[in-house]
Amino acid sequence: MRVFRSIDAFEKVNRAVVTTGTFDGVHIGHRRIIGRMTELARKVDGESVLLTFDPHPRMVLFPDDHGLQLLSTLDEKIALLEEAGIDNLIVHPFTKEFSRISSMDFVRKILADQLGTHRLVIGYDHHFGRNREGSFEHLKEYGPLYGFEVEEIPAQEVDDVSVSSTKVRRALAEGDVATASEYLGADYRLSGQVVEGRRLGRTLGFPTANIRVSDPHKLIPANGVYAANMHINGKKFGAMLNIGYRPTVDTIPTRTIEAHIFDFDGDLYGASVEVRFRSRIRDERKFDSVDELRMQLEMDSNKARQLL
C-alpha cells in the first residue's frame, strides 16, 4: 500500500476507485466498502484509493468539546487499512480551512481533478463538504458531469443492529471486547510503550509490563481483567491484562494498563507493544488481602490461557 500525506502529494492512478471518510476503527461496515472497492478495481483494471483525514475532523471543528475517543490511532488505522487491501491511502491534514470547501468544489477539484476518480464508493448516509452539505443525491447528480459513477453501500447489519463506530465505542466502554471485535471484524487493538512501574506484580508472582498508551484520545476498554495477545517485535504472546486502579495494593487512584505476558522472559522497558483484546474475564475489584488477590490472579491466569 502506498501512503500519501496529503492530496497534493497523491500520484494519480489509472481508473481510481475512490472512497473517503474518517474510517476510525475500520469496522465491518468500512470493510464492506473496501471489499466493494477492491472488487470494482479488479473489474476495471484500476486501483483503490482511500482518502482519510488527520486529525479527526471533530477535533478541529470542536476543539474544546469534541469528547472523542478514537478506536484507532493514525498508525493503527494505516496498518488496518493495509491489512484490508487498500492500494493507495491518502492521509490529508484536516484544518478549518479545508472544512470550508464547498461540496461542489470537493467534487470538482478534489474527486475529479486531483484524484482522477473513475468510480466513487461511499457508505450509507455519507455527507461531505462545508457543513456536511453534500450527499449521495448530490454525487449521483454531479458525478457523471465530471466523469465518474457513484455507488452507495447500504447500512450494514449485525444481528439487526446497524454497525457504527458509536456502537463499537459503547461495547468497549462496557468492557464487551467480544462484541466490539465482532463489529470490527478483528480484535480491538491498543498500542503503547512499556514504562517503569512499581513492580508490585513481581511480589505477587505475576510480573507485569506497565503500558502507556501512545495517543491520549485512544479509547481504553472498561476497567477489568482481560485475556489478550501481545505483539512484541513481530512475535505474538498470550497475556493476562488488567485495566484499572489496583484497589487492593494502591491507595493513590491512578489508572494503569498492566499485562502479565505468558512464557516471556526479558526486559521490555521502553519497548513498543501492541495489545489485541480477546475476551473479558472479570471486573476489577478490591480483595481483603494480598494472599486473596494472589489466588485470584492464579485463577485469572488459568482462565486467560484457556480462552486464548
* Residue 218, domain CATH: 2.40.30.30
- Same domain? For 57 and 115 the reply is yes
Is the residue at 180 inside a domain?
A: no
For the whole model, what pTM was predicted? 0.90
Q: What is the CATH number of the domain that holds 150?
A: 3.40.50.620
Measured distance CA(69)–CA(169) in Å, rounded: 8
Same structural domain for residues 113 and 241?
Answer: no
Q: For residue 238, give its domain range.
A: 187-307
| Residue 206 lies inside a defined structural domain of this protein | yes
Same domain, 130 and 14: yes
Residue pLDDT tens, the chain, 308 long: 999 999 999 999 999 999 999 999 999 989 989 999 999 999 999 999 999 999 999 999 888 876 789 999 999 999 999 999 999 999 999 999 999 999 899 999 999 999 999 999 988 777 778 877 778 788 888 888 899 999 988 776 555 567 788 899 999 999 999 999 999 999 999 999 999 876 665 666 688 899 999 899 999 999 999 999 999 999 999 999 999 988 777 666 789 999 999 998 888 999 999 999 999 999 999 888 888 988 999 999 999 999 99
Give yes or no for a cis peptide into 55 (omega within 30° of 0). Answer: yes
**Cell 495494593 -> residue:** 249
Measure Cα distances from 1 to 79, 84, 87, 93 in Å. 10, 10, 5, 19
Could you tell me if 194 and 270 are in contact, meaning their C-beta atoms sit under 8 angstroms apart?
A: yes
Does any domain span residue 235?
Answer: yes
Residues 115 and 248 in one domain: no
Q: Is 172 domain-assigned? A: no
Distance CA 56, CA 255 (A): 25
- Does residue 237 sit in the same domain as residue 112? no
In this structure, is residue 144 part of a structural domain? yes
Are 107 and 251 found together in one domain? no
Q: N- to C-terminal Cα distance for the chain?
A: 31
Torsion of CA 183, 68, 52, 78, to 10 degrees: -60
Query: What is d(CA 94, CA 193) in angstroms, rounded to the nearest whole number?
Result: 27
Final residue in a domain of this structure, among 162, 178, 213? 162
Residues 209, 143: one domain?
no
